[in-house]
Homo-oligomer: A and B are copies of this chain.
């Protein structure tokens, strides 16, 4: 694997076009924290598969258009080369593209909106990263969440922007206990896999295998914590009596997946105490995902990865040293 990547890096150093592709692939890889073009490629294929299988290829295309638009914006803004090459200005744009294409009705305006939103996500990344730097924490997917929330809420105010697939606006109502059915084994497996694919806004179980492969080629620990996060997500959500359909669709588990990878395998040095710390944060992510869904109910917009950002910041900001 290392040889392959070294060979590829050599080719990229010699060709601007390949470097451009490399930066975009790393941008997609960074959605799950992997500065690795092969991870990005596998993630891209996984999302394409899930998108095609669901009969909505425009979602995968939206992501592609968006990551390219982000990268071009980054070149135009002339930001620091190191972060650019690591794909750090691409992952938010990629997610903005997937999200807008997922929640809006396709139209010419939507495509302009995708390009505009992904360009703005680069500015938001620079802004939020600059603020976060003060305390030595990363921006995570906060730029994606902020920009997408702003753009999706606006669809309610402009008739040219149609949020066809947005969650309904509604008064907050306590969950009906009857909605929390017993979890059958098939649902349990399905929920675990879709929790991983929902990181990219897709509920397509089989594609999770490709995503895990994409993680493993770059970091086995990340793949392990992704599975742990998904299991915690499904089990805790079920134990607390969440709506079963949400559990099965992975909608309560994708934020825990990201929290688990970030704290368990990326930003802290692995170790027993870090594992405990990560598990607490992962459980909290399940609970806070319920909080976020409740909080956003009156506004009719999805949580995206807002839960992950909030909880992970909370557990990174103390700046603890686990030795």
Interface membership of A317, Cβ < 8 A:
yes
Nearest chain-B residue to A293 (Cβ)? B157
Contact stretch, chosen from A25-33, A55-63, A147-155: A147-155
Oligomer copy total:
3
Complexed CA–CA distance, A169 and B159 (Å): 21
Which residues of the partner chain B approach A300 to less than 8 Å between Cβ atoms? Answer: 172
Min CB distance A43 to B, Å, is 27
Taking residues whose C-beta sits less than 8 angstroms from the other chain, chain A's interface range is 35 or more
Question: Could you say which of A127, A242, A300, A313 has the most chain B C-beta atoms within 10 Å of its C-beta?
Answer: A127
Are B241 and A294 in contact (CB-based, < 8 A)?
A: no
Are B127 and A313 in contact (CB-based, < 8 A)?
A: yes
Q: Mark A254-289, 1 if CB is under 8 A from B, else 0.
A: 000000000000000000000000001001100111
Are A158 and B123 in contact (CB-based, < 8 A)?
A: no
Are A158 and B126 in contact (CB-based, < 8 A)?
A: no
Complexed CA–CA distance, A200 and B62 (Å): 40
Interface membership of A163, Cβ < 8 A:
yes
Interface membership of A3, Cβ < 8 A:
no
Which chain A residues numbered 295 to 323 have a C-beta less than 8 Å away from chain B? Answer: 295, 298-300, 313-320
Are A175 and B150 in contact (CB-based, < 8 A)?
A: no
Interface membership of A239, Cβ < 8 A:
yes
Complexed CA–CA distance, A129 and B175 (Å): 35
Are A299 and B295 in contact (CB-based, < 8 A)?
A: yes
The 5 sampled A-B contact pairs (Cβ below 8 Å) are: A150-B287, A154-B288, A156-B175, A157-B294, A298-B299
